[in-house]
A = this chain, B = another copy of it.
Amino acid sequence: MGVNPLHVIMNPSSVAVVGASNNLGKMGSIQLLNIIYGGFSGEIFPVHPTETEIFGRKATNAVADLPYAPDLALLVVPTRIVPEVLEDFGKIGTRHAIIVTAGFKETGEGGIALEAEVMAIANRYGMRFVGPNCMGIINTRLPLNISVLPVNMPDGVLAIASQSGTYITQTMPYLHRQGIAVSKAVSVGNEASIDLVDCLEFFGEDRDTKAICLYIEGIRRAERFLEVARRISRTKPIVAQYVGGTQSGARSGASHTGSLSGPDYVYNGLFEQAGIIRVDTIEDAYKIGWTLATQPPMKGTRAGILTHSGGPGSAMSDVSDRYGVAIPAFSSSLQDKLKRMLPGHASTGNPVDLTFITDTRPLVADIPRMLMESGEIDGLMVHGVNDTDFSSSMYPVMEQVIDISRSEFIKMSEVNLDVLTGLPAQHGKPLVISSFVTGDDHATQLLLEHRIPHFDIPERAARAMAALCQHYRIRQRKVGPPPPPAEKPAEAEACMVEMEASGADEFAAKALLKAYGIPVTQESRVKTLAEAQRAARQIGYPVALKACSPDILHKTEQEMVFLDLENEAALTEAFTAIREKNADTPLLVSEMLRGNREFVAGISDFPGFPPCVLFGIGGIWTEAIRDVAVRLSPLNREDAGELLNAITASDMLGPYRGLPAVDRAAMIGILMNLSRLARDFPAVKEIDLNPIMVVGGRPIVADALFVMR
């Protein structure tokens, strides 16, 4: 492993910048300006072939002429000279770089070759770098701002890693307006050398960082990503936006950073397994990240809602319910206390709705304190905390009837938020606020200053509270140790040899499954009618008879599957029918399972991912119902249990209308053993066990399909 290269890249004591000039329209120049005027206290070396001075700093004409090897090289040069400049730095002993230049893997063939060339140079000199095709990094602690805009929020607590440069650079003014202070930020670009996993590890160790925000178009080291994220997310919340799960999103991502994406449900599986909170927009990524970074964690799932209007209260309730946040009806003793403080028509049941008020004070002091103290909630949302925005909107009519200056009138409306803003720290419970105002409002400014998350619509405040609740559940869940190392089953190698020979037919496949302890139907592979009859007698009627060949893929559609053969006559008839279609395929005589529900389990293959274990509703309607979920291997017992619960129709596993529950341990065993099998034999690309019939409560694999690499 070695030391994470981001330690040096984020904390250099000297930086060389190649590609900056006195032309202010160029990105390199702007980045140099931000390094210089962003407060970086280390040495800065502009390197330029012709200029002798850039922004008042002496420029060096060639890398070779630098007085010593700087800790970090920033390359913002034309694509074709990147290899050469990087090599120059390699030669003088610089081991860390940021390659902003684009035009590599994301552009197709030629770019892929050039990126490989850059990697070869880096490897030769033991160099690690961020990029290419990135926009830089930010460390507000040092400070060091290698981006295109000033960053002025101190004491940052939210770390960002992004596969889009915009999200750590051009959005800085946006983040400032929202009161969001970044601790560290990395634009990872094409991730040739340093990727999201390195960022996660670095952020995980960073003491300033209280929560992590990721923008993702595709992950290429999914197994390691899972391992790292799962560890970090138990204490430091991680939120992620993923946009590669659709056809258009994937195509856009590929031409943006050359990323390889995968289907949405696979990333959902990864995120759930890793304890990552998935969000749908970049705003949610930032603002939910900020909420998680600044608020005390929730210690339960109950939230209170305080509002001065019913619509926002109902909308917050609705969102909360969708995300599993309880909005408990308050106890009658609490409601009695509240009623004494409220106008007659106010609701006290939760939401507490003060109804229309012109004065914000009731929202910000005794009532929220009473709710926080009540012991009936684990977090509080308040809608409508604003003051001067309302009064400044009202002034044009007010000035018609009272003799008061605008500034006096507005000043009069300013509320004191000391009580409200102190509540989270005092009670160790999170607080989120919404109101339809911007940062110009006095109360809103106070909230931002005190790092109380503020949202301009109630639904997003509720979504943020839901994220706090999600993180409560993430902290609570049992993750379990990795599955214990296990020898390959004794017979497995032999089965695999046979399977490779037979072309992975169903019989061989089931033999391998059986070697891994996965229950399969009792069956015999036969060639002749006599063999079939003997097998059927041994198994006991009724039996099934089907073609058994890897070359016959849709045997049901081809009418080469006969079920429920009650006796020898029926068996003989079925045998003849199959033989008429195919003179020499081997056949399978199987016990006829009388199941009462069907599931599917399997192994799927996605680029950048380890073998993924899939589980869902099975039978012939699998593709129509599309209720499947995924976890990455290796699967431990807890992963497998969560996978069972991850499908929509998970009630099908329980006791259900007189049917017994599915043997959960047995189903978990199937999933864990599938994971083990896939990791033991990398030659296996895909496995499809469909259906897994449930007989009594016992799951038995009735059909198995293997696809080898």
Contact = CB atoms under 8 A, between A and B. Distances in A.
Interface stretch (A24-32, A486-494, A607-615): A24-32
Interface stretch (A195-203, A452-460, A669-677): A452-460
A165 interface: yes
Contacts of A652: 621, 624-625
B648 A358 contact: no
Contact of A625 (B27, B401, B649): B649
B320 A164 contact: no
A536 interface: no
A256 B315 CA distance: 11
B358 A657 contact: no
A377 B622 CA distance: 36
Contacts of A171: 436
A351 interface: yes
A135 B356 contact: yes
Interface stretch (A86-94, A276-284, A570-578): A276-284
Interface in A159-177: 162-167, 170-174, 177
A249 interface: yes
Contact of A398 (B24, B56, B398, B556): B24
Interface in A285-340: 305, 309-318, 320-322, 326-327, 329
A37 interface: yes
A317 B396 CA distance: 44
Interface stretch (A239-247, A498-506, A514-522, A696-704): A239-247
Given A170-B436, A625-B617, A400 B310 contact: no
Closest 9 CB pairs of A and B: A164-B311, A249-B318, A256-B310, A246-B321, A166-B309, A557-B658, A174-B436, A248-B317, A624-B651
A262 to B, nearest CB: 13
A194 to B, nearest CB: 18
A281 B397 contact: no
Contacts of A30: 358, 394, 397
Nearest to A22: B401
Given A314-B253, A356-B135, A33 B397 contact: yes
A315 B241 contact: yes
Contacts of A657: 554, 556-557, 620
Contacts of A255: 310, 347, 349, 351, 353
Contacts of A37: 396-397, 400
A401 B317 contact: no
Interface string A239-271: 001011111110111011100000000000000
Contacts of A329: 251
Contact of A393 (B38, B150, B163, B458): B150
Contacts of A315: 241, 243, 249, 281-282
Nearest to A326: B248
A584 interface: no
Contacts of A170: 309, 384, 390, 436
Nearest to A355: B102
A217 interface: yes
A38 to B, nearest CB: 8
18 contacts: A25-B358, A30-B397, A33-B401, A36-B397, A102-B345, A102-B355, A148-B356, A163-B311, A164-B314, A173-B393, A248-B320, A248-B321, A252-B327, A256-B310, A281-B460, A554-B657, A554-B658, A620-B656
Interface string A442-468: 000000000000001111100000000
A685 to B, nearest CB: 23
A322 B280 CA distance: 12
Contacts of A345: 79, 102-103, 106-107, 133
Contact of A247 (B27, B243, B321, B398): B321
Nearest to A394: B149
A123 B457 CA distance: 39
A548 to B, nearest CB: 19
B246 A322 contact: yes
A215 interface: yes
Contacts of A318: 243-246, 248-249, 252
Contacts of A389: 173
A155 interface: no
A455 B74 CA distance: 34
A22 B322 CA distance: 45
A224 interface: no
Interface string A588-621: 0000000001000000000000000000010011
B256 A314 contact: yes
A667 to B, nearest CB: 15
A313 B623 contact: no
Contacts of A135: 356
A400 to B, nearest CB: 5
B625 A459 contact: no
A649 B627 CA distance: 10
A338 B588 CA distance: 60
B249 A321 contact: yes
B459 A281 contact: yes
A592 B321 CA distance: 44
Nearest to A253: B314
A481 interface: no
Nearest to A623: B651
Given A244-B314, A315-B241, A345-B107, A282 B459 contact: yes
Output the residue of A171, A251, A400 with the most chain B CB within 10 A: A251
A166 B311 contact: yes
Contacts of A165: 309-311, 356
Contacts of A420: none
A125 B390 CA distance: 39
Given A164-B312, A255-B353, 5 more contacts: A27-B356, A164-B311, A249-B317, A255-B351, A438-B438
